[in-house]
Every structure is written in structure tokens, then in C-alpha cells.
Amino acid sequence: MARLLIVEARFYDHLNDLLLEGTRAAIEAAGHEHETITVPGALEVPAAIALAAESGRYDGYVALGVVIRGETYHFEIVSNESARGIMALTLDGLAIGNGILTVENEAQALTRARRSEKDKGGEAAKAALAMLALRERFGG
């Protein structure tokens, strides 16, 4: 049984609740266990994963959050830099699924967060599990 850490950037409570539902369902359906920690925003997710990885307590990670475009360039910073940080961690060998939504509006977020629709939270969990299986296949 694998232990996954869900790292959620809780910027929009109602959207994160939907993402978490899909993520947790996917992990439990695969017979694994999970814990959840919360950070303020997507920019804090990579560092939180890095800190958790130092503990050696987790086999994989799921990053969750929602970034909705506002009026300024900050959308690009938050979206691109959180993704870049997560990608760097995956290239260091961590099994991570990235379920941080980067969208234009709440309607786009709702469709992707709902388990009954695009279920991006479940998708991210399955990606983390797939990478964990791949690492185990190669003896990591």
C-alpha cells in the first residue's frame, strides 16, 4: 500500500473541496492511503512538497489548486512558476500528479474540479500513482 500526500493550495474553498473529492476517491479506489496538507496558494506547493519529501514518509504526491486569471501578470507567474517547481521535483524523481487548475474563470474551474465532469483531481491522483509504479518498475 502506498502513502500519498495531497498538497492543496486552498485559494478557493469550494473548488478545492471538489478537487479533493476526486483525488481521494481515486487514491482509495486504487487501494492506497492519503494525507492532506494545506498551503495558502499555488506558489507554495512546490516548496511544501520538497519539505515533505525530506521526511521520507510519502511514496507520492498530488498537487491541487486553482489559479484563475485576474487583471495582472500575476496569473502567469503563479501558473508558470508553480508548474515549473513541480516539474523540477518530478525530474528529481518524485512521483507527483499536478492537479493545479489554471483557468480563465470559475466556470472553467468548476467543470474541471467536479468529479462527475472532468475530474482533474482524480486525474492527478492517477498520474501520481502511474509515476510511482514506473519508479518501482525501474527499481527507484
Ligand X SMILES: CC(=O)[C@@H](O)COP(=O)(O)O
> Which residues are documented as binding site?
11, 42-44, 66-68, 71-72, 98, 112
The option from ligand X, ligand LW54GNZ2, none interacting with 71 (CB < 5 to 8 A, set by class) reads ligand X
The reply to whether 74 sits near ligand X by the rule CB under 6 A is: yes
Report 3-62 residues binding ligand X (CB under 6 A): none
The reply to whether 105 sits near ligand X by the rule CB under 6 A is: no
Tell me the window of 37-45, 49-57, 105-113, 116-124 that interacts with ligand LW54GNZ2 (CB under 6 A): 37-45
Q: Give the length of the chain.
A: 140
Sequence-separated (6 or more) residues with CB below 8 Å from residue 2:
32, 33, 59, 60, 129, 132
What is the strand order of the sheet 96-103 is part of? 33-39, 3-9, 60-68, 96-103
**Run of H or E residues at 122:** helix 120-137
Q: Which residue among the candidates 14, 32, 34, 74 is catalytic per the annotation?
A: 74
Per DSSP, 62 falls in state E
Report 76-95 residues binding ligand X (CB under 6 A): 78
Q: What's the closest the beta carbon of residue 38 comes to ligand LW54GNZ2, in angstroms?
A: 11
